[in-house]
């Protein structure tokens, strides 16, 4: 029997260095599905900027904290382990991120 | 401006109690995509049992540790943050899990 070996791609080790921009890494892409890792270090959406996406997005915070804001002023705090569906067309922005915040984001066609 | 509120579904809080069986929770289901959370507490695949699935499976270990085994005796240790694609038809079994191990598993059609 062969020895156990460390496997897979770690989404939390060897993070890219913090910089001006967030880091986006496509982990897997299929028809109707894209998996991304996003590393944030305090970046937020520009004031007045709203994401309004053609795809549904399902996010899972893996590390750090983040705050999402919707156009009705609802604000959602996310900590590690929190998941959320952002339906296509739902205007939202990232109001706050801690340093070394790691997101998993899935994009797929709306229901 | 409304107050920040805690949001989304935590995949790590309020875990179901450890028992004889693993806990499977479907988080989202769409044509061509299923997102599951799996909570393991030491369970392993029965000796000689191999998963050979019709779908591709992408797993991400959120908490704990686990060991996957392939039919060629390759063993893969996974710790929190490790991700792995298990292609459809690839015979594998779960050789080891720690208590309170939490997996995110995505299932989608093979490439």
What residues of chain B lie within 8 A of the CB of A85, using their CB? Answer: 28
At B93, phi and psi to the nearest 5?
Answer: -140, 160
* Burial class of residue B1 in the structure, from the number of CB atoms within 10 Å of its CB (0-12 exposed, 13-18 middle, 19+ buried): exposed
CB atoms within 10 A of CB B71: 11
The residues spanned by each domain of chain A are 37-111
What residues of chain A lie within 8 A of the CB of B13, using their CB? Answer: 81
Structure confidence by residue, pLDDT tens digits, A51-78: 999 999 999 999 999 999 999 999 999 9
Structure confidence by residue, pLDDT tens digits, A9-33: 999 999 999 999 999 999 999 999 9
Asked if B7 and A85 come within 8 Å (Cβ–Cβ), the reply is: no
CB within 8 Å of B84: residues ≥ 6 apart: A7, A8, A9, B58, B59, B68, B76, B78
pTM of the entire predicted model: 0.93
Percent of the residues in chain A that have a pLDDT greater than 90, as a whole number: 92
Distance from CA of A110 to the nearest CA of B (A): 9
Cα–Cα distance, B53 to A103 (Å, whole number): 28
What is the CATH number that goes with domain A37-111? Answer: 2.60.120.10
Asked if B8 and A109 come within 8 Å (Cβ–Cβ), the reply is: no
Asked if B74 and A2 come within 8 Å (Cβ–Cβ), the reply is: yes
Interface confidence, given as ipTM, is 0.92
């Amino acid at each position: 029997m062969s020895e156990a070996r460390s496997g897979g791609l770690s989404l939390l080790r060897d993070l890219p260095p913090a910089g001006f921009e967030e880091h986006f890494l496509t982990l897997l892409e299929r028809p109707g599905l894209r998996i991304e890792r996003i590393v944030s270090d305090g970046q937020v959406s520009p004031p007045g900027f709203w994401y309004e996406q053609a795809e549904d997005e399902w996010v899972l915070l893996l590390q750090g904290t983040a705050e999402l804001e919707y156009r009705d002023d609802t604000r959602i705090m996310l900590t590690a382990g929190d998941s959320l569906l952002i339906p296509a067309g739902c205007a939202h922005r990232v109001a706050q991120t801690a340093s070394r915040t790691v997101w998993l984001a899935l994009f797929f066609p709306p229901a």
